[in-house]
Chain A
Amino acid sequence: NAGVTQTPKFRILKIGQSMTLQCTQDMNHNYMYWYRQDPGMGLKLIYYSVGAGITDKGEVPNGYNVSRSTTEDFPLRLELAAPSQTSVYFCATASGGNTGELFFGEGSRLTVL
Chain B
Amino acid sequence: EDQVTQSPEALRLQEGESSSLNCSYTVSGLRGLFWYRQDPGKGPEFLFTLYSAGEEKEKERLKATLTKKESFLHITAPKPEDSATYLCAGSSGYSTLTFGKGTMLLVSP
Contacts and interface: CB of A to CB of B under 8 A. Distances in A.
Interface of A: 4, 31, 33, 35, 40-45, 48, 50, 58-59, 90, 92, 94, 96-107
Nearest to B43: A104
Contact of B95 (A31, A35, A106): A31
A2 to B, nearest CB: 13
For chain A, what secondary structure do more than half of its interface residues adopt (helix, strand, loop), or is it mixed?
loop
A103 B99 contact: no
Contacts of B49: 99-101
B80 interface: no
Nearest to A6: B43
Given A50-B94, A98-B32, A42 B44 contact: no
B97 interface: yes
A107 B43 contact: yes
B17 interface: no
Interface string B39-77: 001111110010000000000000000000000000000
Contacts of B108: none
